[in-house]
Amino acid sequence: MTKNNNKLLIVDDDEIFCDALSRAMQRKDFEPFIATNITDAIEVALSNKPAYAIVDLRIAQESGLALISKLLKNSPEIKIVILTGYASIATAIEAIKLGAIHYLTKPANADQIIAAFEKESGDTNTPLTDQPMSVERLEWEHIHKVLSEHDGNISASARALNMHRRTLQRKLNKFPRKC
């Protein structure tokens, strides 16, 4: 990948993951900068003007979705890839609507991330599945849709779902077994 600006912002609250990904991206000729929270990410982006960003969807108790518009405001040409271990259709749609160019699930390697940065449009050859979603996955998707509709507010989402807030938090911390 030839680039005039090879600066890359990596935002994830897992420092070990950030270090490993940073080293992998350095080997691919990127100049990585790491931030482990949204406040630091904005600061790093303002001072370094990265052309690329890899943003975790869940940064401690914060949503990486909130960072997308802030990064784009600072640098409208930045290419942002959301990387998450908690993928859902609702968050994928929101990430793209907010301006991310791609949404990948963990684990993703450096080559997959670079391919996402290079992708300019959708792929009509993406294979369709004959397998319906599991009940657990449908519940997970519905919860994230409601959460998105309530701007990430757990209490409001719990009321809308007619469930206790702690029950909702427990469900959000569990990843559905089958996707």
Distance (Å, rounded) from C-alpha 69 to C-alpha 72? 5
- Inside any domain, residue 128: no
My answer on whether 168 and 99 are in the same domain is no
Mean pLDDT of the chain: 86
pLDDT at 123: 61
pLDDT at 122: 64
pLDDT at 3: 53
For residues 20 and 173, the model is more confident at 20
pLDDT at 125: 66
Place of tokens 């309530």: 150
Instruction: Provide the pLDDT confidence category of residue 179 given band limits of 50, 70 and 90.
Output: very low
pLDDT at 176: 54
My answer on whether 113 and 157 are in the same domain is no
pLDDT, mean of residues 153-158: 90
Domain final position from 118, 145, 160 = 118
For residues 176 and 17, the model is more confident at 17
My answer on whether 113 and 41 are in the same domain is yes
My answer on whether 105 and 139 are in the same domain is no
Domain count, the chain: 2
My answer on whether 28 and 75 are in the same domain is yes
Q: Could you tell me the maximum CA-CA distance found in the chain, to the nearest angstrom?
A: 52
Give the domain CATH number at 68: 3.40.50.2300
Residue 140: name the closest of 174, 167, 106 by CA: 174
pLDDT tens per residue across span 67-105: 999 999 989 999 999 998 777 888 888 999 999 999 998
pLDDT, mean of residues 145-157: 83
Please, what is the Cα angle at 171 between 165 and 172, to 5 degrees? 90
Distance (Å, rounded) from C-alpha 59 to C-alpha 44? 16
My answer on whether 166 and 106 are in the same domain is no
3-class secondary-structure state, position 105: strand
pLDDT, mean of residues 128-133: 67
Residue 145, both tokens: 């849709």
My answer on whether 144 and 111 are in the same domain is no
Which domain covers residue 152, as residue numbers? 135-173
pLDDT, mean of residues 138-147: 80
Please, what is the Cα angle at 113 between 29 and 62, to 5 degrees? 110
pLDDT, mean of residues 152-168: 90
Give the domain CATH number at 139: 1.10.10.60
pLDDT at 124: 58
